[in-house]
Amino acid sequence: MRWSHVGLNCADQKTTEEFYTRYFGFARARVVDLGSSQIVFLRRGDAYLELFPAGARPARPANDDGPQAPGRMRHLAFRTDSVDAFLAGIGDAADITLGPLDFDDFICGWRSVWLRDPDGVIVEVSQGFEDEDRPTAAPDHHAKDGA
């Protein structure tokens, strides 16, 4: 099993495509012609975004790191060498919803900022995250009490 893609509903596919190609380094990989509309696939390395045409623009998420309701995607996330350099490069196009925040209490140098894409999807940009050497084991939800 391998990761495939994230599908995004876009109020304006061209604007969304320009955002992810300009600021996140994606490139157009395929277009599926549906006659009156199209689906656009963007690729960066092994990561794909699938851009669908959508109806009316959805309500803007709260000023945080994304929707918290079950069954909703909370945010997309990308890694960079420098959050500050990324923000300098994106300039006024950054609709920041949270941060930048430092998480040095957990990992020295871990820093993140959250912003909205043109369709209101929250996008996290982070630097310095590292896996744990020995992550805590997941609880065994199948074990019975007292077993």
Backbone angles phi, psi at 123, to 5 degrees: -125, 125
pLDDT in tens, 136-147: 665 665 555 555
For the chain, which residues make up each domain, given as ranges?
Answer: 1-55, 62-134
In angstroms, rounded to a whole number, what is the distance separating the alpha carbons of residues 15 and 1?
Answer: 32
The residue-averaged pLDDT of 34-52 equals 87
46-68, pLDDT tens digit by residue? 888 988 887 544 555 555 666 65
Residue 18 has pLDDT above 70, yes or no: yes
pTM of the model: 0.73
Across 26-30, 47-51, 78-82, 132-136, least confident range: 132-136
**What is the three-class DSSP state of 88?**
helix
Region label for 43, one of left (φ > 0), alpha (ψ between -120 and 50) or beta (otherwise): beta
Establish whether domains 1-55 and 62-134 are of one fold: yes
Exposure of 29 by Cβ count < 10 A (0-12 exposed, 13-18 middle, 19+ buried)? middle
Candidates 3.10.180.10, 3.40.50.450, 3.90.110.10, 1.10.1790.20; correct CATH number of 1-55?
3.10.180.10
Alpha carbon 136 to its chain's center: 25
Architecture of the CATH domain 62-134: Roll (3.10)
Residue 39 · residue 50 · CB < 8 Å? yes
